[in-house]
């Protein structure tokens, strides 16, 4: 009934040149994500979670293995094709927002669409819709420097989904937010996932954020070491996550 | 301790400091180059054709000083922006404001002294190179020009010393006015709204009036003279600055509001980039426009003096060469030239009277000037009327001014009275005196046979010397050479100053653009992440820089085109071949644009994946 959005087979990423010590940032990682899932990737600093995200988001290339996103093998694509692929199939939310400070909130959100030369009327309508959805409609003509952190992250989220990507990727999306704004963003993501069936993959080291996911993959030294699936309410899932984290000795990292 | 911190902070931003230092060094070097001329009165007096050349240099110095002043203020503002975050951090950790202020002062002075020393040395070197190069290209000897000229060194040091002091104090004041938080978050800034309607309208009107007065003075320079020159010097830059400041942001706003266009491709980003920084750019672009006007104007002026030599030669005679009784060598030389028109007539001299053959004149009708004045030197017509029958001096002569003009031009030098009679072939043959001949030739382009003309003149002089004549050769080419000899100093100055101003322009634009590059790296990286192809980013950069280059380029050229009137009271035709300097400038500017685009792309775009 559901098709895989991400299908990763035996992916390894090696750092270090010929005469240096080789370091595996990713070591033989395989997993599959189907459409409509909300997956979290957790791990300590340096465990390889950001590398995994970069490989999936086509920003970095795997040394070995195949990476299929939405049915396309991205390891065989050229730079230009990868760009187009990112523009059409992927949406990003970064920890530091990555908004363009020289464009208004509206223009920032419209960017992925105008890059694909969508007709102006359609852009306006879609942007309006997504801004209303995320509760930032009144910020349209402001510049990123004049709005709050939470509002910036909502703007980033709006930009990430306005072109209806196959996959939404978050790199510590709540990392720079206070708990109130973080909760609000996570609720928004949950809503997007449940109501619009958007597939979300999020990297985080924060157990509270992770507890919004349906499934969590734990990564350590470049390997996937454990996987847990949420069955009950969020609160008990949160406890379960904390348990796994302490088991792998990285509960501290939530405070870094 | 704080000083050590400051030094390590500077080291970490070495790249930015190199950009800053390079900008300052260039402006100092160019200022010095200009001063080597401005202060060398002996050289100017000896080499200039223009009497009021001192005034021209005064005006030039003033304009250059003005431009440099703004440039230094801007560069030091950049210095402050480089450091403010770090200074804010020190202050947050408890450093006193006075101490930071002193640090800033010291830093400004150190940067100033360094750039002054390097800049002056570079200026001397540049003067040597450019002087050498120009005198080679223009084939002229420069006497009295010194690349290392102490009054110029002194004045340059004094001028920049004062400027650096002013900007150091200015930076300190600005630092003192700011709060710690403002310093810390100095990098984050929102777009400033465009200037309010009333202020903008006022600025536009004032700008139009100033520019109008400036242009008026340039156009009527012949009547207004010194007063006109001074007024134009003040009003034209003023108008340029006001109009750039008032109109550029408004123009971009309008372009931006055009939504249908904006929401296509990278346009919204490109215009966002532009309008985001246009407020900081307007003054710099106006400066660039002025420098273009000065640089291209100086080159155009120099070329106009050079062209004037040709104008003088062309108006002296229609035909490029005329050789009386050519000998073997001369004939061989003449045969090697491709003439568009070659005429050959026979004549006899008898009792100081010249006899021409009527049939020859009728079968080879010559070209003459339509009117005999210098303004219409290049409008030629062919004589249609019959050759005058009879002689030029007694009563049976019916005057024909056209034939008269031509036949008098043909008279050999040793026939001072220039009286002639046109006779038919039979009468001519009956005359007892020796038959002589004259060869006239006109080529498509006088200047492309310079070597041949020179050789012909030499042979002619040999002939004159052999005949123990007191005459020296008087030909179209000798007129050309003589004029060029007189004008060469002025031509050199024009080219020298033109290069100086254009280099200054280049350094201004380069500096402005490179200082913004650091912030752009993040923007382009982000665009890359959300999936913009590299080619599209490159396209956006080309587009953005094209607009940045276009406005001052057009304004500068318009200034030049109007400003060439300045020379109308010394030159016959200041606008003759004006497309040559315009083309030269356009070429240099285009190449410069391409270099800037390339450099910028290398800085801000990530490497190939």
**C-alpha span between A256 and A252 (Å, rounded):** 7
Q: What is the pLDDT of residue A256?
A: 39
Chain B positions touching A99 (Cβ under 8 A) are 526
Chain A positions touching B273 (Cβ under 8 A) are 102
- Whether A76 has its CB under 8 Å from any CB of chain B: the answer is no
Q: Calculate how close chain A gets to B540, using CA atoms only, in Å.
A: 12
Number of domains chain B contains: 3
Q: What is the pLDDT of residue B376?
A: 62
Chain A positions touching B263 (Cβ under 8 A) are 110, 113-114, 118, 120, 123-124
* pLDDT of B535 higher than 70: yes
Three-state secondary-structure class, residue B520? helix
The mean per-residue pLDDT over the stretch B597-603 comes to 86
**Taking CB atoms and an 8 Å limit, are B276 and A101 in contact across chains?**
yes
Residue B201 lies in a domain: no
The parts of chain A modelled with pLDDT lower than 50 are 1, 250-256
B496 in the same domain as B376? no
- Whether A229 has its CB under 8 Å from any CB of chain B: the answer is no
**Taking CB atoms and an 8 Å limit, are B268 and A123 in contact across chains?**
no
Residue B450 lies in a domain: yes
Residue B529 lies in a domain: yes
Q: What is the pLDDT of residue B609?
A: 42
Among B483, B497, B513, which residue's Cα sits nearest to residue B596? B513
Annotate chain A with DSSP letters as a single string. Answer: ---EEEEEEEEEEEES-TTS--EEEEEEEEEEEETT-EEEEE--TTSSHHHHHHHHTTSS--SEEEEEETTEEGGG--HHHHHHHHHHHEEEEETT----TTS-HHHHHHHHHHHTT--HHHHHHHHHHHHHHHT-GGGTT--GGGS-HHHHHHHHHHHHHTT--SEEEEESTTTTS-HHHHHHHHHHHHHHHHHH--EEEEE-S-HHHHTTSSEEEEEETTEEEEEEE--S-HHHHHHHHHHHHHHTT-GGGGG-
Q: Which pLDDT band, with edges at 50, 70 and 90, does B190 fall under?
A: very low
B584 in the same domain as B553? yes
- Whether B190 has its CB under 8 Å from any CB of chain A: the answer is yes
B154 in the same domain as B11? yes
Q: What is the pLDDT of residue B209?
A: 93
> Of B473, B494, B527, at which residue does a domain stop?
B473
Chain A positions touching B608 (Cβ under 8 A) are 79
Residue B231 lies in a domain: no
Q: Calculate how close chain B gets to A28, using CA atoms only, in Å.
A: 23
Q: Which pLDDT band, with edges at 50, 70 and 90, does B396 fall under?
A: low
Q: Please report, for residues A62, B106, B369, B372, the alpha-carbon distance to residue B379 in angstroms, rounded to integers and kept in the order given.
A: 76, 67, 6, 10
Chain A positions touching B193 (Cβ under 8 A) are none
- Which value does ipTM take for this structure? 0.74
B244 in the same domain as B130? no
Q: Please report, for residues A244, B322, B348, B399, B493, the alpha-carbon distance to residue B423 in angstroms, rounded to integers and kept in the order given.
A: 125, 22, 11, 15, 54
- Whether A120 has its CB under 8 Å from any CB of chain B: the answer is yes
- Write the residue in A83, A114, A124 that is nearest to B265 by C-beta: A114
Q: What is the pLDDT of residue A40?
A: 93
Q: What is the pLDDT of residue A128?
A: 92
Find which of A132-141, B465-474, B600-609 is predicted with most confidence, using mean pLDDT: A132-141
**Taking CB atoms and an 8 Å limit, are A86 and B533 in contact across chains?**
no
**Taking CB atoms and an 8 Å limit, are A143 and B191 in contact across chains?**
yes
CB A90 within 8 A of CB A169: yes
B361 in the same domain as B268? no
Number of domains chain A contains: 1
CB B156 within 8 A of CB B72: no
Q: What is the pLDDT of residue B575?
A: 82
* pLDDT of B160 higher than 80: yes
CB B331 within 8 A of CB B325: no
- Whether A196 has its CB under 8 Å from any CB of chain B: the answer is no
User: Mean pLDDT of all residues in chain B?
Assistant: 81
Residue A55 lies in a domain: no
**Taking CB atoms and an 8 Å limit, are B530 and A123 in contact across chains?**
no
Q: What are phi and psi of A228, to 5 degrees?
A: -125, 150
Cβ-based contacts under 8 A for chains A and B: 96
Q: Calculate how close chain A gets to B531, using CA atoms only, in Å.
A: 4
Among B44, B79, B31, which residue's Cα sits nearest to residue B511? B79
**Which CATH number is A112's domain given?**
3.40.50.300
Residue B234 lies in a domain: no
Q: Which pLDDT band, with edges at 50, 70 and 90, does B262 fall under?
A: low
- Write the residue in B273, B523, B608 that is nearest to A79 by C-beta: B608
* Least confident window among B193-207, B405-419, B548-562: B405-419
**C-alpha span between B462 and B469 (Å, rounded):** 10
Q: What is the pLDDT of residue B556?
A: 92
Q: Calculate how close chain A gets to B188, using CA atoms only, in Å.
A: 6
**A positions 164-183 inside 8 Å of B (CB):** none
Q: What is the pLDDT of residue A216?
A: 93
- Compare all CA atoms of chain B with the CA of A82 and give the residue at the minimum distance: B531
B329 in the same domain as B292? no
Tokens of B609: 């994946």
B134 in the same domain as B14? yes
Pairwise pLDDT comparison (B336 vs A96), residue with the higher score:
B336
Structure confidence by residue, pLDDT tens digits, B192-209: 555 567 888 888 999 999
> Of B427, B455, B473, at which residue does a domain stop?
B473
Chain A positions touching B189 (Cβ under 8 A) are 101, 145
- Whether A107 has its CB under 8 Å from any CB of chain B: the answer is yes
Residue A187 lies in a domain: yes
Pairwise pLDDT comparison (B208 vs B77), residue with the higher score:
B208
Structure confidence by residue, pLDDT tens digits, B303-334: 888 888 888 888 888 888 888 888 888 889 88
Kindly report the CA angle at B522 between B520 and B524, in degrees rounded to 5?
A: 70
Residue A183 lies in a domain: yes
- Compare all CA atoms of chain A with the CA of B273 and give the residue at the minimum distance: A102
Q: Residue B5 is part of which domain span?
A: 1-189
Q: What is the pLDDT of residue A127?
A: 92
Instruction: Find the helix packing angle between A120-134 and A149-161, rounded to 10°.
Output: 130
* pLDDT of B514 higher than 90: no
Q: What are phi and psi of A28, to 5 degrees?
A: 55, 55
Residue A9 lies in a domain: yes
- Write the residue in A79, A88, A120 that is nearest to B263 by C-beta: A120
Q: What are phi and psi of B592, to 5 degrees?
A: -65, -40
- Compare all CA atoms of chain B with the CA of A127 and give the residue at the minimum distance: B263
Residue A56 lies in a domain: no
Q: Which pLDDT band, with edges at 50, 70 and 90, does B607 fall under?
A: low
Q: What is the pLDDT of residue B397?
A: 55
Length of chain A (residues): 256
Residue B225 lies in a domain: no
Structure confidence by residue, pLDDT tens digits, A66-91: 999 888 888 888 877 888 888 888 88
The mean per-residue pLDDT over the stretch B420-433 comes to 84
Tokens of A220: 């350590």
- Write the residue in A92, A100, A120 that is nearest to B259 by C-beta: A120
- Whether A98 has its CB under 8 Å from any CB of chain B: the answer is yes
**A positions 121-140 inside 8 Å of B (CB):** 123-124
The mean per-residue pLDDT over the stretch B10-17 comes to 77
**Taking CB atoms and an 8 Å limit, are A84 and B263 in contact across chains?**
no
**C-alpha span between B440 and B320 (Å, rounded):** 8
Q: Calculate how close chain A gets to B263, using CA atoms only, in Å.
A: 5
Q: What is the pLDDT of residue B122?
A: 92
Q: How far is CA A224 from the centre of its chain?
A: 18
B386: which DSSP letter? Answer: P
B360 in the same domain as B279? no
Q: Residue A110 is part of which domain span?
A: 4-47+61-255
Residue A241 lies in a domain: yes
Q: What is the pLDDT of residue B191?
A: 46
B528 in the same domain as B604? yes
B152 in the same domain as B118? yes
**Taking CB atoms and an 8 Å limit, are B529 and A111 in contact across chains?**
no
Q: Which pLDDT band, with edges at 50, 70 and 90, does B118 fall under?
A: very high
- Write the residue in B190, B268, B523 that is nearest to A145 by C-beta: B190
Residue A80 lies in a domain: yes
Q: Calculate how close chain A gets to B96, using CA atoms only, in Å.
A: 29
B273 in the same domain as B328? no
Q: What is the pLDDT of residue B223?
A: 79
Q: What is the pLDDT of residue B558?
A: 92
B531 in the same domain as B565? yes
**B positions 506-545 inside 8 Å of A (CB):** 523, 526-536
Q: Calculate how close chain B gets to A210, using CA atoms only, in Å.
A: 24
């Amino acid at each position: 009934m559901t098709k895989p959005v991400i299908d990763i087979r035996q992916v390894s990423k090696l750092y270090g040149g010929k005469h240096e010590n080789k370091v595996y940032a990713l070591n033989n990682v395989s997993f599959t994500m189907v459409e409509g899932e909300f997956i979290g990737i957790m791990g300590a600093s340096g465990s390889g979670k950001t590398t995994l995200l970069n490989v999936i988001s086509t920003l970095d290339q795997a040394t070995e293995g195949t990476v299929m996103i939405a049915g396309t093998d991205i390891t065989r694509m050229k730079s230009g094709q990868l760009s187009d692929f990112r523009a059409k199939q992927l949406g990003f939310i970064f920890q530091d927002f990555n908004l363009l400070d020289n464009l208004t909130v509206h223009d920032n959100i419209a960017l992925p669409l105008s890059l694909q030369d969508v007709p102006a009327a359609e852009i306006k309508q879609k942007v309006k819709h997504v801004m209303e959805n995320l509760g930032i409609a009144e910020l349209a003509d402001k510049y990123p420097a004049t709005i709050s952190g939470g509002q910036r992250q909502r703007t980033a989220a709006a930009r990430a989904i306005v072109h209806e990507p196959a996959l939404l990727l978050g790199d510590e999306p709540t990392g720079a937010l206070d708990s109130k704004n973080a909760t609000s963003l996570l609720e928004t993501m949950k809503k997007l996932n449940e109501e619009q069936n958007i597939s979300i993959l999020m990297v985080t080291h924060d157990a509270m954020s992770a507890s919004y996911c349906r499934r969590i993959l734990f990564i350590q030294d470049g390997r996937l070491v454990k996987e847990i699936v949420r069955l009950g309410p969020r609160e008990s899932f949160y406890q379960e996550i904390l348990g796994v984290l302490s088991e792998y000795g990285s509960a501290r990292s939530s405070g870094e | 301790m704080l000083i050590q911190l400051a030094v390590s902070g500077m080291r970490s931003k070495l790249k930015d400091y190199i950009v800053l230092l390079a900008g300052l060094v260039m402006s100092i070097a160019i200022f010095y180059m200009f001063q080597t001329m401005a202060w060398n009165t002996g050289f100017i007096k000896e080499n200039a054709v223009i009497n009021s050349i001192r005034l021209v240099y005064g005006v030039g110095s003033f304009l250059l000083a003005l431009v440099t002043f703004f440039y230094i203020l801007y560069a030091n503002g950049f210095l402050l922006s480089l450091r403010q975050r770090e200074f804010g951090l020190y202050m947050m950790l408890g450093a006193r404001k006075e101490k930071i202020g002193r640090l800033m002062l010291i830093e400004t002075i150190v940067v100033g002294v360094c750039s002054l020393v390097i800049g002056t040395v570079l200026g001397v070197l540049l003067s040597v190179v450019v002087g050498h190069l120009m005198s080679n290209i223009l084939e002229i000897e420069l006497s009295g020009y010194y690349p290392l000229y102490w009054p110029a060194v002194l004045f340059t040091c004094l001028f920049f010393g004062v400027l650096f002091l002013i900007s150091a104090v200015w930076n300190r004041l600005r630092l003192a006015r700011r709060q710690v938080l403002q310093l810390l978050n100095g990098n984050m800034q929102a777009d400033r709204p465009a200037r309010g309607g009333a202020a903008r309208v006022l600025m536009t009107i004032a700008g139009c009036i100033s520019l109008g007065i400036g242009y008026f003075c340039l156009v009527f320079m012949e009547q207004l003279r010194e007063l006109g020159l001074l007024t134009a010097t003040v009003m034209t830059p003023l108008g340029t600055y006001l109009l750039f400041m008032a109109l550029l942001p408004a123009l971009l706003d309008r372009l931006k509001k055009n939504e249908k266009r904006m929401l296509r491709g990278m346009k919204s980003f490109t215009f966002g980039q532009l309008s985001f920084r246009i407020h900081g750019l307007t003054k710099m672009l106006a400066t660039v426009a002025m420098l273009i006007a000065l640089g291209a104007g100086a080159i155009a002026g120099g070329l106009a003096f050079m062209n004037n030599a040709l104008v003088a030669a062309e108006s002296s005679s229609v035909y490029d060469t005329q050789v009386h009784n050519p000998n073997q060598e001369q004939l061989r030389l003449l045969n090697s030239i491709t003439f568009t028109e070659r005429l050959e007539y026979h004549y006899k001299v008898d009792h100081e009277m010249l006899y021409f053959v009527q049939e020859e004149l009728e079968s080879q009708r010559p070209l003459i000037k339509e009117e005999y004045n210098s303004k219409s030197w290049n409008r030629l017509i062919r004589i249609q009327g019959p050759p005058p029958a009879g002689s030029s001096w007694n009563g049976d002569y019916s005057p024909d001014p056209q034939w008269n003009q031509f036949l008098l031009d043909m008279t050999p030098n040793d026939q001072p009275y220039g009286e002639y009679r046109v006779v038919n072939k039979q009468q001519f043959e009956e005359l007892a005196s020796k038959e002589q001949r004259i060869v006239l030739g006109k080529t498509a382009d006088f200047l492309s046979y310079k070597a041949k003309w020179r050789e012909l003149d030499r042979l002619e002089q040999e002939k004159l010397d052999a005949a123990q004549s007191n005459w020296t050769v008087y030909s179209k080419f000798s007129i050309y050479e003589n004029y060029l000899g007189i004008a060469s100093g002025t031509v050199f100055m024009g080219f020298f100053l033109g290069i100086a101003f254009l280099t200054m322009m280049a350094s201004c634009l380069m500096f402005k653009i490179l200082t913004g590059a650091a912030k752009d790296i993040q923007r382009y990286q982000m665009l890359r992440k959300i999936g913009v192809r590299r080619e599209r980013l490159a396209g956006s950069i080309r587009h953005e820089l094209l607009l940045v280059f276009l406005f001052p380029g057009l304004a500068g050229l318009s200034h030049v085109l109007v400003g060439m009137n300045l020379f109308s009271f010394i030159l016959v035709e200041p606008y003759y071949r004006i497309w040559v300097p315009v083309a030269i400038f356009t070429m240099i500017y285009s190449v410069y644009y391409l270099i800037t685009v390339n450099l910028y792309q290398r800085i801000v775009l990530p490497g190939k994946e």
